[in-house]
Amino acid sequence: MRTKLTGTVVSDKANKTRRVSVSRQYRHAKYGKFVRGRTICHVHDENNESKEGDRVEIVESRPRSRTKRWELVRILDAADQIAVEAAKAQAAADAEIEAAAAGTEKQQAQAEPAGEESQANEEANDEPETRDETEA
């Protein structure tokens, strides 16, 4: 009997090929802790039916290429395309916010030493003026 697995479509960019992430949980041999793992399978999708985010059932098949050894059986849950795009947009926005925050922290760190130097220069400039006034 051929092996059947259930996974989530990660990429649908190639024609008639999908990348499906199959998650599994196993017990670590030495420590006994349950560990989550995942395997990426290249799956043949003859009619380009599945989209990114869909939960699909795949079955083992003959080798179709160097990496493709699975076929799409059926789509279990279709992902809402709008929700997938919204999640991508949210992830991109979060990345931009983090990058901007990191950039402002660097600018503030660079600005602080310059501020201390300018205060020291102002104090040095104040002292000679007071000496000139006392001498005159």
Q: Which amino acid is at 26?
A: Y
Q: Please choose, from the candidates 81, 29, 6, 78, the residue with its C-alpha nearest in 3D space to the C-alpha of residue 49.
A: 78
Residue 132 resides in a domain: no
Determine phi and psi for 60, rounding to 5 degrees.
Answer: -65, 140
Is 75 in the same domain as 8?
A: yes
55-60 and 68-77 beta bridge pairing: antiparallel
pLDDT digits (tens, 9 = 90+) for 36-94: 999 999 999 999 999 999 999 999 999 999 999 999 999 998 888 667 777 788 888 88
Examine the domain organization and report whether 98 and 110 are in the same domain.
yes
- What is the pTM (predicted TM-score) of this model? 0.58
Q: Are residues 74 and 118 in the same domain?
A: no
List CB contacts of 52: < 8 A, sequence separation 6 or more.
9, 10, 11, 12, 79, 84
* Residue 57 and residue 99 share a domain: no
pLDDT tens-digit readout, 12-29: 999 999 999 999 999 999
CATH number at residue 15: 2.40.50.140
Residues 16 and 64 in one domain: yes
Q: Tell me the CB-side half-sphere exposure of residue 9, using CA atoms within 13 A.
A: 33
Q: Is 108 in the same domain as 75?
A: no
Parent domain of 93? 80-124
pLDDT at residue number 34 = 97
Number of independent structural domains in the chain: 2
